[in-house]
Amino acid sequence: MIAFPRIALLGCSLLALVATGCASREVPLATRIANALPATDVAAARETDPVGTANADAADDPAIWRNPDNPAASLIVGTDKKAGLYVYGMDGKVRGSSLTGRYNNVALQAGEHGIVVIASDRTDPVNSKLALFLLDPVTAALTPLASVPSGPGEGYGVCVAPAPSIAMVGAADAMTVYAAIKDGSVRQIRISHKQGQVEHQMGASWKLATQIEGCVIDPATGSLFVGEEDAGIWKIDVARPDAAPGLFAAADGKALVADVEGLAIAAREGASSWLVASSQGDNAYAVFDTTTGRLLGRFRINGGALDGTSETDGIELATGDFGPGFEQGVFIAQDGDNGGGTQNFKLVSWAAILAALGL
């Protein structure tokens, strides 16, 4: 396991340093926004029904499965971290659910043997697990598949990438899952699935200094990005498990305003991928080039007929056709306020974001 020191913050957060030293631990939102780099407004196109847990910080993280035969019939899985999982259609309406545990973050992987949904299970705060389900693409039902241990600590974030599999018909679907534990541990778990049978094997691990949650894999390079909420985004070369993670983007109060929360990737053919991060402290999202680390722009979900987002935890980004209004892709963000109502998720056209940022 690789451990390394975090950036020293002199006993208080960067946000506090921006204001009046450490006299106040909470900097007003208006001040955080004023101190950050500008962000362009982009309107939400649709929103999901609220999660079932009302009057609480409950909705957290989305994942999406693209229906290749009918993109408008794609499905979104979102967490209610107090109760379980909800499945939504592209119209935002609830299509299914599994209210069976305290699932914090969610990812999914489609293969020959079905669509596997992987949720970070924090039901037991001492022993983290991954809850696996099969998602029915027609009925949107979630069927429990397995519970995979992910080591000591409280399960928080999760991300997944396909792993090389045997090139033969009927071979098991293989995937590499990364479990982000609340204490800063990152654990690699190799999982295979075939006909309801699940096997798993623990792999490499890394340790960041403080609380983490969001993570994502760049499909172009295999690099893993992990958000340490108060420090920034770290880049891990998983092909070199003994190498220490490197700081990719600091929570500097400018490009990223702590907490750093959800992470998502836009892969681009023949070019470097783009990384999107939830800059929760100023209700914004930052876009970076994964190769150079250059900040490409910042945006907020605001304006239009629907309310905007605030205090976003998890995000998802998928390029490609997802039906009318989302022909170039869809960006999904948890809304921590939802106009003062029960939390939900907002859907934004990826084309609209690109246009707003001039990308």
Give tens-digit pLDDT for 210-259: 999 999 999 999 999 999 999 999 999 999 999 999 999 999 999 999 99
* Residue 19 pLDDT: 36
* 168 band by pLDDT with thresholds 50, 70 and 90: low
- d(Cα 318, Cα 329) in Å, to the nearest integer? 5
User: Is 226 in contact with 214 (CB distance < 8 Å)?
Assistant: yes
Handedness of CA 17, 20, 25, 31 (dihedral sign): negative
Question: Quick one: pLDDT at residue 232?
Answer: 98
| Average pLDDT of the residues of the chain | 92
CA 219 – CA 271 distance, rounded (Å): 12
Q: Is the pLDDT of residue 14 over 90?
A: no
Exposed / middle / buried, residue 139 (Cβ in 10 Å: 0-12, 13-18, 19+): exposed
Residues paired with 276 in a beta bridge = 264, 287
Tokens of 96: 């299914």
User: Mean pLDDT across the stretch 89-113?
Assistant: 97
Q: Model confidence at 21, in pLDDT bands (50, 70, 90)?
A: very low
Three-state secondary structure call for residue 73? helix
- pLDDT for the residue numbered 163: 77
Q: Give pLDDT, residue 16.
A: 37
Q: Rg of the chain over CA atoms, in angstroms?
A: 19
CA distance 306 to 110: 31
Which pTM was predicted? 0.93
Q: What is the pLDDT of residue 169?
A: 64
| Amino acid 328: pLDDT | 98
